[in-house]
Chain A
Amino acid sequence: DGGITQSPKYLFRKEGQNVTLSCEQNLNHDAMYWYRQDPGQGLRLIYYSQIVNDFQKGDIAEGYSVSREKKESFPLTVTSAQKNPTAFYLCASSISPGANYGYTFGSGTRLTVV
Chain B
Amino acid sequence: RKEVEQDPGPFNVPEGATVAFNCTYSNSASQSFFWYRQDCRKEPKLLMSVYSSGNEDGRFTAQLNRASQYISLLIRDSKLSDSATYLCVGLTDSWGKLQFGAGTQVVVTP
Contacts and interface: CB of A to CB of B under 8 A. Distances in A.
Interface in A27-49: 31, 35, 40-45, 48
A107 B95 contact: no
Given A43-B100, A48-B97, A100 B45 contact: no
A97 interface: yes
A interface secondary structure, majority = loop
B8 A40 contact: yes
A45 B97 CA distance: 8
Interface in B1-60: 2, 4, 8, 31-32, 34, 36, 41-46, 49
Nearest to B35: A102
Interface in A54-105: 58, 88, 90, 94, 96-105
B102 A90 contact: no
A94 B89 CA distance: 14
A40 B36 CA distance: 16
Q: Which 10 A-B pairs have the closest CB atoms?
A: A42-B100, A105-B43, A97-B96, A43-B100, A97-B95, A98-B96, A42-B102, A102-B46, A98-B94, A102-B34
11 contacts: A42-B2, A42-B100, A48-B95, A58-B97, A90-B44, A96-B96, A101-B49, A102-B34, A102-B36, A104-B46, A105-B43
